[in-house]
A and B are shown apart, each in its own frame.
Chain A
Amino acid sequence: MEWTNTADVVVIGAGIQGTAISYYLKRRGVEKVVVLDKSTVCSGATGRCGAGIRAQWGTEMNCRLGLACVEKFEGLSQELGMDIGLNQSGYLMVAYQDKEWEQLQKNVTLQNRLGIASRVVNREEANEICPGLGAPDALGFTFHARDGHADPFLTTFAYHKRGRELGVIYHTGTTVTDIKVANGKVFGVVTDKGHIDAPVVINAAGGHSQFIASMAGVQLPLFSERHEIIITEPVDAGVCPPMLMSFSGNYYIQQRPHGSIIAGCSPAGHPQDYELGTSWQFLQQMTRTMLAVLPRTRGMRIVRQWSGLYNMSPDRQAVLGEADDVTGFFVSVGFSGHGFMFGPVTGEIIADLVVGREPEINVDMLHYRRFQLGELILEPAVV
């Protein structure tokens, strides 16, 4: 694609956030939208994630967003004209501790009040939902059938493909090195390929978003952690159809429609060195967890192990909106372990904010101002 030095909006990052935001900007009639990525499309956290989608959250804000995400994903293949690999086999939450079990039940009450049809299920039912389930020490389970996952590659490429058809310009292999700001307004970006002048610049740079923000003189209290994950060879369906997730058990495990089982956990201490290595410590803890939770995985083979960055904020919630002191500089960052599922919904919200439309869900409380005001959103339901 020919390089030109002006745009109406420059989006930094071609993960789920950047591809979705740019697509929705075009849908709102923005003329010239340019997406820049230092690597390739879907090379960041998005292409490395578990891709789980859920409405089972513990705060009102996240329940509302989560339900909106589930609904959005249900119509997304049709909206984008490409199969995004949605699989709704539910999330089965597993509690091992008294306090955790109390919390999960409280969450269900909140969820039900907000229109989410989650419920407490007993052991027998849990075994029907997840035939491979072991976890003899579990105290209780909750389930929401509309939760599930989508293919993160297909979802991102669907936004990429549709966006390009509508005229979004992508420059991959292009690193943003500086952001131009004057008189409290953003007016462009500098890259290793040249500069682009634009009155609006959107930071969707995932694990590197804090560096992008500081280029614009905006200091965000974000950092990034490396999280590892594994996948097995494909095996017969029906071992673990739902996403099995436990906060105290410290895992999420799910079988993909094509048979592979994908699993992640958080061993103590996540390296913050921005490397993407893998460790024996993780591999061993994860396989031991799998044996306890899904005993019949013993003979299945691990095919691949990799890692990606969680972009973390002080309350592990997203940071959305326009910068206070730099007009035209928007951020869509800090998603910790749940930025894939929120992408389609927050992509639309950011596009609305850019064109000055009132978004369907008010996300003022997710502005980074909350860190200065001490108004953190303490979400009890995260791994």
Chain B
Amino acid sequence: MERPSDKIIVCRCEEVTLGAVRQWIAEGYHTFDELKRILRVGMGPCQGRGCREIVLREIAAMTGKQMSDIPPGSFRPLTRPVKIGAIADDGGE
């Protein structure tokens, strides 16, 4: 069933809607990492800072689980995006 909030963009970097997230949760993808793999949600420059909470909350709501029982998904370096030139030129060995 479509809901008005389906159109909300939850991941601005990769332009993923709440509706798309809901659709794949309904298909049985109940972890952040699986949704990330299939939708690219959280893969953009902000690395999920904006969307992780929203997605986890939606998984909790749709599966009836506690938020604390849902694995938060992996966090990968870099902490923030860094220019290639800045890394390559660093003399430190």
Q: Which residues of A contact B (CB under 8 A)?
A: 40-43, 47, 153-154, 157, 161, 232-234, 278, 283-284, 287-288, 290-291, 297-306
Contacts and interface: CB of A to CB of B under 8 A. Distances in A.
A232 B77 CA distance: 12
A302 B84 contact: yes
A303 B34 contact: no
A189 to B, nearest CB: 23
B83 A300 contact: yes
Contacts, number: 71
B75 to A, nearest CB: 10
A278 B77 CA distance: 8
A232 to B, nearest CB: 7
B44 interface: yes
A287 B87 CA distance: 7
Contact of A287 (B31, B76, B84): B84
B38 A157 contact: yes
Contact of B83 (A153, A284, A288, A299): A299
Contacts of B83: 298-302
Contacts of B47: 303-304
A301 B44 CA distance: 11
A306 B82 contact: no
Interface string B77-93: 11001111101101000
Contacts of A299: 83-85
Contacts of B34: 40-42
Nearest to B38: A157
Contacts of A47: 37
Nearest to A296: B84
A302 B38 contact: no
B45 interface: yes
